[in-house]
Structure 1
Amino acid sequence: MKTIDCRNMACPLPVVTVKRALESAGGETVRVLLDDGPSRENVRRFVVERGYAVEESSLSEGVAFVIGGVSRDEASADGSAGGRKVVLITSDRLGEGPEELGRLLMKNFIITLLDLDVVPDRMLFVNGGIFLTTEGSEVLEALEKLGNRGVEVLSCGVCLDFYHRKDKLRAGAVTNMFTIADSLLGDRPVLKL
């Protein structure tokens, strides 16, 4: 079993390193050492999404994942991502024009999603969009309800750090640029707001 140490790596290097290790492992088990926190969550999300089995254990400094099996991507004959829908939200406003109107439109869009039969599988919040997932947002309850319906609500960790809002995240989880790029460039329809 190969062991890789991803502790003390900046985002998104833990996910990229694990991806490369799994690709070169040829189906063999890989042990990964990680810091507890966002890197742990991001790597877990990455491997689970791809259908790998993962066992977690605590270490004195961080956690260890034992990742095994063949990924769903490798096992799938067509390699498709199943048509998942992704919404990329880059601002706390929708459209151009008066800020107050833009904020009202974005609020109404997110709340209206609750009344639709089809919801996105993943909502990515980047740049000013992270203000919708953090303390003080008027759509936190709606985002929580969407999360309960299976929508992944993910906020860019670099953006949260830039705006000093990481400790104020109230809806969903922190993600990294690898997951964002993978979501946007995969075989999934993307709606950018």
Structure 2
Amino acid sequence: MGRIVDARGLSCPQPVILTKKAMDESKGGDITTIVDNTTALENVTKLAGSKGYEFQVENRSGDYYISMSKAAETASEETISVQEDVAILVTSNLFGQGDAELGRVLMNSFAYTLTQMASKVKHIIFMNSGVFLTTEGSEIAAHLAALENSGVEILSCGTCLDFYGLKDKLVVGKVTNMYTAMEILTAAAKSINL
């Protein structure tokens, strides 16, 4: 019997992250992930397909058992941890537009997910109200610190910190300026704007 991942009761993206970790650790071995909602079911099956796993789903009293096995032709592939030349620009303390509470939840989920990915970005730059995420009281400061410890450069706009009265409250990363931020963003192979 392969590895079991019980992800019932866990919110997004936990079922996917736990399944991805199991895939990495099992090196192509069989995995069964158990989830209790259709969103998690869809997300885990998408992951399985994208990673070359064949899967079957069984509904047992509202719990979905996703049995996955690596397709024969891809079973010997190895996951390589790479730091990509990617820069992320965060211009708000919320993820997206719409409900503020949902925006906070999504930003926390986004930051946590970045810590769990094998490939890391090189730089995360915080501008405008995004600097609230790198200062005292930030819900994601621990995630950002973990990213910084893994080699990701965390930068906050000095003008923005001054504007919001947060310069002495920076808890993760370093202060930067617009010129340096633009150099990083334009030199990166890919940039993502939040």
Instruction: Please confirm whether the aligned pair reaches a TM-score higher than 0.5, indicating the same fold.
Output: yes
Count, aligned residues: 112
Q: Which residue of 2 aligns with 1:107?
A: 108
Q: Name the structure, 1 or 2, with higher relative contact order (CA <8 Å, separation 6+).
A: 1
**2:159 counterpart of 1:153:** no
TM-score scaled to structure 1, two decimals? Answer: 0.56
Q: Contact conserved, 2:85 with 2:189, CA < 8 A, in 1?
A: yes
Output the TM-score relative to the length of structure 2. 0.56
- Once the two structures are TM-superposed, the CA of residue 114 in structure 1 deviates from its matched residue by 1.1
Q: What is the CA-CA distance between 1:94 and the residue it aligns to?
A: 0.8
After superposition, the C-alpha distances for 1:162-190 in whole angstroms (9 at most, x for unaligned) are 00100000010101111111112224210
Give the structure 2 partner of residue 183 of structure 1: 184
**Residue type matched to 2:161 in 1?**
L
Structure 1 segment 110-121 matched on structure 2, within 5 A: 110-121=111-122
**CA spacing shift, 1:190–1:165, aligned 2, 3 Å:** same
Quote the Cα distance in structure 1 between the aligned partners of 2:183 and 2:129: 21
After the TM superposition, list the runs of 4 or more consecutive aligned residues in structure 1 that deviate by more than 6 angstroms.
none
Amino acid in the other structure paired with 2:153: E
Mapped to 1, the partners of 2:178 and 2:97 lie a distance apart of: 26
Do the aligned partners of 1:83 and 1:187 also contact (CA within 8 Å) in 2?
no
* Contact 2:93 2:132 (C-alpha < 8 Å) held by counterparts: yes
Counterpart Cα distance in 2 of 1:165 and 1:173: 13
1:39-89 alpha-carbon deviations (Å, 9 max, x no partner): xxxxxxxxxxxxxxxxxxxxxxxxxxxxxxxxxxxxxxxxxxx96110000
In the alignment, structure 2 segments of 5+ residues that lack a partner are 1-82
Three-state SS of the structure 2 residue aligned to 1:178 is: helix
Q: Distance in 1 between matches of 2:183 and 2:138?
A: 27
In the aligned structure 2, how far is the partner of 1:146 from the partner of 1:187?
18
